[in-house]
Amino acid sequence: MRGSHLSRTRTLTTVLVLALSGTAVLTGCGEKQQTVGSAPPPKKPDAFEQRADQIVRHWPKVSPVTGRQQAILPLADAERPKKTDAREITVTVGHSACDVRFGARSHESKDLVVITGWGKRKSSKGMCTEQLATDKVKVQLKTALGDRKVVDAATGKELFKN
């Protein structure tokens, strides 16, 4: 009797440990076992996504970001699309002359399109001059711009004021 109780305790402990770890072992009528894992944890929002969410929540009372972040670079300029059904905005990204890659990305909400520039340096080692380089980049929108406001994520300012 004691051995049977110990076996059930070990089985229950194993099931509890697997359940807590997000994994379960399933057995059916046969001898086959199948391991099923839980869904991976949701991806943590990056610096730009966090900033864009903050702007959308607190608009229009938004302060500029402090310091300079490679994921949230200020825009030097933006061209207002000629039509409200435009699904593309051209912005001028101000980035480091040492960036080997750069670009712009957007976050869209019902009322706002938040845009930022970004840069990627070749390595963190070595010297880099603090020169500013600017390049035009096209940002594709998921839906037409319509009457939404376009906001620079770094400065928190509206880009096309009437």
pLDDT of 35: 43
Side-chain half-sphere CA neighbours of 146 within 13 A: 10
> What percent of the chain has pLDDT above 90?
52
Q: What are the pLDDT digits (tens) for 81-96? A: 999 899 999 999 988 8
pLDDT of 41: 64
Res. 115: pLDDT tops 60: yes
pLDDT of 38: 57
Res. 159: pLDDT tops 70: yes
Lowest mean pLDDT among 18-32, 58-72, 118-132: 18-32
pLDDT of 70: 83
Q: Is the pTM of this model over 0.75?
A: no
In this prediction, residues 43-63 reach a mean pLDDT of: 93
Confidence of residue 25 (pLDDT cuts 50, 70, 90): very low
pLDDT of 21: 45
Res. 120: pLDDT tops 90: no
